[in-house]
Structure 1
């Protein structure tokens, strides 16, 4: 089954960066950036969708890597 279309057109593609936090062993900072234009949704709805999706993914990554 194909994924439903996202309510936003993105250009350029989003960027995800993971960097160590200086002086903090085992800690990383994740930075996501992107630009989008809402399509078929309000800006607040599109922001909520992307925020929730990325938060869920980062939470799952944290659980997978937690020791």
Structure 2
């Protein structure tokens, strides 16, 4: 295992977090900053957070618990 991930289908609809992970883990705030930088660079933080939330929600197969 070398921790490389290969996306073989539907790569255009996958979210791939490519920034280094901090030792303490990934926070929502860091995810929003990544999303804003890569997907909504002109949005403010609140709008970017809402955009990421909606994108993640749409990816669910069922209602979240």
Q: Tell me the TM-score normalised to structure 2 length.
A: 0.37
Greater RCO between the two (CA within 8 Å, min separation 6)? 1
Q: Tell me the TM-score normalised to structure 1 length.
A: 0.36
Return the structure number with greater helix share: 2
Return the structure number with greater strand share: 1
Between structure 1 and structure 2, the one with the greater Rg is 1
